A and B are shown apart, each in its own frame.
Chain A
Amino acid sequence: MIKLFKVKEKQRELAENASGGAPVKKQTAGELRLHKVNFKPPLDFLLDMTRDISELNLPKSCTMQFPNGKDDLMNFEVSIRPDEGYYLGGTFLFSFQVSPIYPHEAPKVKCKTKVYHPNIDLEGNVCLNILREDWKPVLNINTVIYGLYHLFTEPNYEDPLNHDAAAVLRENPKMFESNVRRAMAGGYVGQTFFPRCM
């Protein structure tokens, strides 16, 4: 390709000498345009995200916010309002952080609402298999949101992150239910205070 490099270099010199003059022949439109405007390249992961987001089919009671505007789809928030189960009536906010190698890597999800839940700890870490060990590139944001929604309709004590909540759910579902109501209304469960989220 060295001959081609030579031609290109000669054109470059020519273009530099002709500083701002008539457009240099032979130079392609693409090259001209790249000198004029500095653009980001179209990045593959952004396209995957755009597709994912534009095809979302959310549960009715879920809404999304894009705090950084319409062009940053890599950071967003989802609020989930379960319409059945222990958590009926509560609103739970999750933050999503999507990596540049999405969908090769799962999004990072945190629960921003302090919640009394066997599978979500008090720091907002979420135990959901598809966010960690079972993530596959064929999964998408929609799957994750449904997975989160499912955690509220079917909390399970077998994968505990909040050990106490898991134990109560396993041994005394009635008490678990009243703990959840108390926490969602804004109050203490044991030593821990939960702000109101209804």
Chain B
Amino acid sequence: MADASVQSSRSRDLDKLLLRPGNLVGPRFEPGPEMRDDLQTYARVLVVGAGGLGCELLKDLALSGFRNLEVIDMDRIEVTNLNRQFLFRLEDVGKPKAEVASKRVMERISGVNIVPHFCRIEDKDISFYNDFNIIALGLDSIEARSYINSVACSFLEYDSDNNPREETIKPMVDGGTEGFKGHARVIMPGITPCFECTIWLFPPQVKFPLCTLAETPRTAAHCIEYAHLIKWNEVHGGVAFDPDNPQHMKWVYDEAVKRAELFGIPGVTYSLTQGVVKNIIPAIASTNAIISAACALETLKIATECSKTLSNYLTYNGAEGLHTKVTEFERDKDCLVCGPGVLIEVDPSVTLQKFIDLLEEHPKLRLSRVSVTHRGKNLYMQAPPVLEEMTRSNLSLTLFELMGKLSKDVVNVNGTTTKNDQKISCLRKLSVVFKGIDGVTDMDTAGGA
């Protein structure tokens, strides 16, 4: 009895969500202790990033009843992280973030198991990511988000009616902060817009014209970019500038100060130099905490269906007062990453040349001047001549062989098609299925392109 009461007090708040019925619960939600137990036993969540957001996310998820967590991060702890990445201490400086963060959370929250991965996200097999039920992203780069998004969407399969198969949906919860602003979003590939569907949400970075930097600087940032982009190469020709090397950064700062003095421009500081060169805005601990809390709650809602999930993009602005808003963005139907693509069934004996001919005759495609790409490998490029020459020998090989003898997979093609008597260029996703190859006999029977 004593044990049971300890147990109930520890999950008291969670129980309010999981043990009681509600008006906003999902259709399959069955309140009860089994839900709580299953969450602990079966939900496997990967946290990508162990920085400001990642530390918060790990802690929040562990306190929300998740017990099987893994975290991946390639960085080591720096002194400047300590003000907000609260799992780290001075003696941890130089150690991998993923390892220290896991250890600290496990020390404080019993029963939680966190496996750290100290490596780049690209270093992991794609199958590594498929072992998780949900992926939570606490990242600060568009590149890394875009990569994880491609990985998660590559698991997605559609049925013959072009509806996503639920068991292949890899939900993602993405958080991001910049100073006092932040966002949290839920990505259900095939259902809600993926990262690539809404890539335009990210504003382009400000880039100053080089000639302004060289001739007519007006701001402190101009002086810093002059030192970083022009002066560095002039003096260190050949040595690549490394933004993570403090000596390099100091050199750029010193040069920027000289430049600013020459033109009578105030305001060059070391931290502004770092900010401009690395294109970073100072991180605010409370923004990370708020965004991460929203992400952890969404993760819990996806797993348990104890409430409707955010649909689908929350913005938070704490710069002046406080403003939050949820916007429901729509999917890009033709998204190359999360869209279904056009189903094409071919015989394994079909050569690449024959396949390209088929696309020209295909009623839905009518593509000419076709180039074919499979998972980053260019199977055939029709231009420029140098690439055409390099890929021409593939034309006589079978597509099946060129695609690594998979029973089915996605290829991307681009070429020209005619629409309203006009030639337009078009980039398409094709879902290629080889007839009579094991592993697909029980699926994709209907559909027929």
Chain A interfacial positions (CB closer than 8 Å to B): 1-9, 12, 23, 28-35, 37-48, 50-51, 53-56, 58, 63-66, 69-71, 73, 99-101, 104-106, 119, 121-127, 129, 132-133, 135-137, 159-161, 163
Contacts and interface: CB of A to CB of B under 8 A. Distances in A.
Contact of B130 (A7, A34, A65): A34
A79 to B, nearest CB: 11
B334 interface: no
Contacts of A123: 230, 233-234, 237
Max count, chain B CB within 10 A of own CB: residue among A1, A5, A58, A65 = A1
B425 A44 contact: no
Leading 8 A-B pairs by shortest Cβ distance: A159-B211, A41-B150, A54-B371, A29-B439, A123-B233, A70-B390, A132-B207, A127-B211
B165 interface: yes
Contact of A54 (B155, B204, B375, B414): B414
A6 B15 CA distance: 20
B230 A121 contact: yes
B410 interface: yes
B126 A133 contact: no
Contacts of B199: 44, 104
Contacts of B208: 132-133
A132 B210 contact: yes
Contacts of A133: 206-209
A46 B373 contact: yes
A50 B157 contact: no
A139 B305 CA distance: 43
B195 to A, nearest CB: 9
A9 B42 contact: yes
A30 B207 contact: no
Given A4-B167, A41-B153, 7 more contacts: A5-B43, A28-B165, A28-B167, A44-B199, A55-B414, A135-B207, A137-B200
B69 to A, nearest CB: 14
Interface string B296-323: 0000001111000000000000000000
B151 interface: yes
Given A37-B404, A38-B125, A123-B230, A50 B383 contact: no
Contacts of A7: 167
A154 to B, nearest CB: 15
Contact of B147 (A1, A41, A63, A127): A41
A56 B386 CA distance: 12
Contacts of B214: 121, 127, 160-161, 163
Interface residues of B, number: 83
Contacts of B35: 2
A29 B440 contact: yes
B383 A2 contact: no
Max count, chain B CB within 10 A of own CB: residue among A38, A41, A106, A135 = A41
Q: Is the interface of B mostly helix, strand, loop or mixed?
A: mixed
A42 B410 contact: yes
B325 interface: no
Q: Is the interface of A mostly helix, strand, loop or mixed?
A: loop
Contacts of B166: 4
B171 interface: yes
B5 interface: no
B17 to A, nearest CB: 13
Contact of B126 (A38, A45, A50, A106): A38
6 contacts: A3-B28, A29-B443, A30-B168, A64-B386, A66-B387, A137-B204
A104 B387 contact: no
Interface in B153-187: 153-155, 157, 165-168, 171
A23 B438 CA distance: 10
A6 B42 contact: yes
A39 B126 contact: yes
Nearest to B394: A70
A132 B375 CA distance: 30
A56 B385 CA distance: 10
A2 B126 contact: no
Interface in B371-419: 371, 373-378, 381-384, 386-387, 390-391, 404, 406-410, 412, 414
Given A28-B443, A29-B439, A53 B381 contact: yes
Max count, chain B CB within 10 A of own CB: residue among A44, A63, A106 = A44
B133 interface: yes
B93 interface: no
A188 to B, nearest CB: 19
Contact of B233 (A28, A50, A125, A135): A125
Contacts of B374: 42
Given A28-B165, A46-B373, A5 B303 contact: yes
B223 interface: no
A188 B147 CA distance: 49
A43 B215 contact: no
Contact of A37 (B406, B412, B425): B406
B146 interface: yes
A50 B167 contact: no
Nearest to A42: B375
Interface in B196-219: 196, 199-200, 202, 204-211, 214-215
B303 to A, nearest CB: 5
Nearest to A11: B167
Given A50-B381, A54-B383, A54-B414, A23 B439 contact: yes
